Amino acid sequence: MKILGVSLFFFIFLAPFAFVTVQAFTGTYGINYGRIANNLPSPDEVVTLLKAAKIRNVRIYDADQSVLKAFSGTGLEIVVGLPNGNLRDVSADGDHAMSWVQDNVLAYLPDTCIRGIAIGNEVLGGSDQFSGFLLGAVKNVYNAVNKLKLSDVVQITTAHSQAVFANSFPPSSCVFRDNVVQYMKPLLEFFSQIGSPFCLNAYPFLAYMYDPEHIDINYALFLPTVGANDPKTKLHYDNLLDAQIDAAYAALEDAGFKKMEVIVTETGWASHGDENESAATVDNARTYNYNLRKRLAKMKGTPLRPKNVVKAYVFALFNENLKPGPTSERNFGLFKPDGSISYDIGFPGLKSSSADSLLLSLKDNRGCGWCGCYSIILTMATAFLLVFSR
């Protein structure tokens, strides 16, 4: 009876999960939750906002306890970040990597749906301050995740800026910069082994700002335009983001990684800027982000990779008033610090009159998702096995 009960339990409850590889991205749309500010809503209020907007995929740039606790039981899927400043220590010591994963990932699973760990951000292509530590950190974190039996739940990645490319137009001509290849090639080899994608921070806004004389702003904003043709592939591009993604695919193919998927981990448009940032307007930001949503909702690929559905995390959830740099850096948010919308692209704002009641209802009836279902299954498993062990 015990054997029959255990077998029956496995096939009914665990078999559907036994061979599932959990992806770090559900659907096509996600958002970056940056917090370089002193006036943002609480993490609990952010949960309310994300739920109301039906945004499920979220990236943060650290592993903040208050955020991870607030996301517990919500069904929201989050990618946490290992900051650049931690790369040296994690690269040098596998035990340090294990402690970090245990404290910042394992401790919150499965209630908080942590789907990935981003190792650093835009490490390659700029100064070489952290370049030599990236691969070691990636390997040590992955080994820790693997030892903890989490490698089919938590994906390991790192995001790159377009500074890793020698050129990006036409897309087919894109290759990695010579001073990046020595770090990029072994990193891609390892990611290819563990099934991780190439993560790209792609900003048509920045490309247009850099070369407004040769780039049509309509092309950057997904508006009707003559577009651009790639003379080598004979492919036509009607928007700049697709061209930037295909440039990354071309660089990957040149490096020997044709099958690797590209995911856009940051893209957005500033709504306000300095005098020399004339493209940073509310109208342009609204147009870009609204059209981006429509583009992603089509669930289609790019001209070069039509079968690889484009997935993107928008930058960013909020305007961040303490970010350094030009004014545009502090004005990429879809929402203002008080939770109201920066401009209308179809998302509801956080309304104070209903926020408290909505938050209560969400906490009482939070989304199940994989993590919630996993908790329920473990509970049912315990009860089931107790019955059949008698």
Quote the CA–CA distance of 296 and 176 in Å, as a whole number: 27
Cβ pair 160, 201 in contact under 8 A: yes
Asked if 266 is an active-site residue, the reply is yes
Which residue is catalytic, options 77, 189, 253, 266? 266
* DSSP code of residue 223: -
Which residue is catalytic, options 77, 122, 189, 277? 122
Least Cα distance to 258 among 305, 318, 321, 319 occurs for: 305
Quote the CA–CA distance of 138 and 155 in Å, as a whole number: 11
- Bridge partners (DSSP) listed for residue 263: 199
* DSSP code of residue 76: -
Asked if 45 is an active-site residue, the reply is no
Q: Is 102 helix (H, G, I), strand (E, B) or coil?
A: helix
Q: What angle do CA 33, 37, 40 make, to 5 degrees?
A: 65
Please spell the DSSP secondary structure of 294-310, one letter per residue. Answer: HHHHT----SS-TTS--
Cβ pair 83, 62 in contact under 8 A: yes
Give catalytic residues, as residue numbers.
122, 266
